[in-house]
Amino acid sequence: MKKAYEMWTDFENMTQNKFLWKTGMLLVDKGDGRNVKPVKDKLDELGYPNTTYSSEDLRKHFPTINFKDHIGLFDHDGGVLDVHNIFKSLLLLIDKLGGKIQTGVKVQNICPGTEVTLTTNRGKYRAKKVVLTTGPWTADITKSLELSLPLRVKAATVWFWKEKKFGSYSLDTGFPVFADYNIESWNDFIYAVPCYEYPNMLKLHMHHTIEHSIHPDYRDAQVGEAVAKITKKLTAYVREHFPYLEEEPSIVQRCMTTMTPDYDFILDKHPMWDNIVIGAGFSGHGFKLSPLIGKLLANMVLEKPITIDMKPFKISRFQKATWKFSKL
């Protein structure tokens, strides 16, 4: 993560833009805080600054949230990435460096060999080497390469709640990224991002809960009972713990996450064709590391040295894979 932070700063300097806002991250847990203890232990081990808050301290330092019998752990290095500005700046930079972006192109087949041929709905592309970062379509695409990856595309929903009082949970006023680690009550943890994506709206969701598995071409199919159930639970949660938010969500959005059985990434070459590099299965926590991931994939395809241990990201680790998902 430290290296990724450095690379985000490099990207900011390169484009003269601000992408990373270090708001800190507040974790809360009920009782003795047993669920956040492993996080604190890891932060201490890595030398990252953090602060523990008692229930009284929480009320004093974060008056816009209401947690009576909870303790808090504040990670001073937590933050928010401005996703839309990042993509906009990246596209401009690719164009400036002579790259060509093809939008609306569907890959229909990949024929491996000393030269890789991609058949698409707009013709064929040929290259000596290919990097596949095809998101939720990866499992479909790699089938034509006789490679079966244990990827599961998860339907996910995020909710936006409007502030009653302007600035109560805003990025501009210093409200941190938030996570409730009271897992016993939820079999999951609740995650919130301060207002910035939409004006005066806090983003809230449940991190790992599966609604159902989907095919990415039908992302919005079967929306209904599962989303309604989670919305009801989150609405009750907001009423109790976020008194300066309106009681009902203003915006509900759908998204997709491509999961691996162990929640770690796939960053590897095809077992038979080493001129095909695959990056997939980022399991909901890949974007913050994307500058480093991109560098690793580039080094793999260019045959440059890699100093990071890549064994945890090998395809071969899935021979005895088991799924570890919470359910509604």
**C-alpha dist (Å) from residue 274 to 126, 144, 278, 281:** 16, 16, 10, 19
- pTM as predicted: 0.86
**Calculated CA dihedral for residues 299, 301, 304, 306, nearest 10 degrees:** 50
User: What is the model's pLDDT at position 53?
Assistant: 96
Where are the alpha helices (H) located in the chain, listed in sequence order? 2-15, 37-46, 55-61, 83-96, 138-143, 183-186, 225-241, 290-301
How many distinct helices (H) and strands (E) make up the chain? Answer: 8, 16
User: What is the model's pLDDT at position 184?
Assistant: 65
d(CA 261, CA 259): 7
Q: Does domain 18-83+158-256 have CATH number 3.40.50.150?
A: no
Q: Which CATH superfamily is domain 107-151+261-320 in?
A: FAD/NAD(P)-binding domain (3.50.50.60)
pLDDT tens string 135-161: 999 999 998 898 999 999 988 889 999
User: What is the model's pLDDT at position 83?
Assistant: 92
User: What is the model's pLDDT at position 269?
Assistant: 95
User: What is the model's pLDDT at position 255?
Assistant: 86
User: What is the model's pLDDT at position 136?
Assistant: 94
What residue ranges do the domains of the chain occupy?
18-83+158-256, 107-151+261-320
User: What is the model's pLDDT at position 75?
Assistant: 96
d(CA 79, CA 194): 10
From first to last of its 328 residues, the chain has per-residue pLDDT tens of: 778 889 989 999 999 999 999 999 999 999 888 899 999 999 999 999 999 999 999 999 999 999 988 999 999 999 999 999 999 999 999 999 999 999 999 999 999 999 999 999 999 999 999 999 999 999 999 988 989 999 999 888 899 999 999 999 999 899 999 999 886 666 678 999 999 999 999 999 886 565 578 888 888 776 677 788 888 989 999 999 999 999 999 999 888 889 898 889 999 999 999 999 999 998 778 888 999 999 999 999 999 999 989 999 999 998 754 434 333 3
User: What is the model's pLDDT at position 320?
Assistant: 52
User: What is the model's pLDDT at position 326?
Assistant: 39
> Across the strands, what pairs with 313?
none
Compute how many other C-beta atoms are within 10 angstroms of the C-beta atom of residue 181.
Answer: 23
User: What is the model's pLDDT at position 31?
Assistant: 85
Nearest 5°: the CA angle 29, 51, 163 is 60
**Phi–psi pair at 130, nearest 5 degrees:** -135, 140
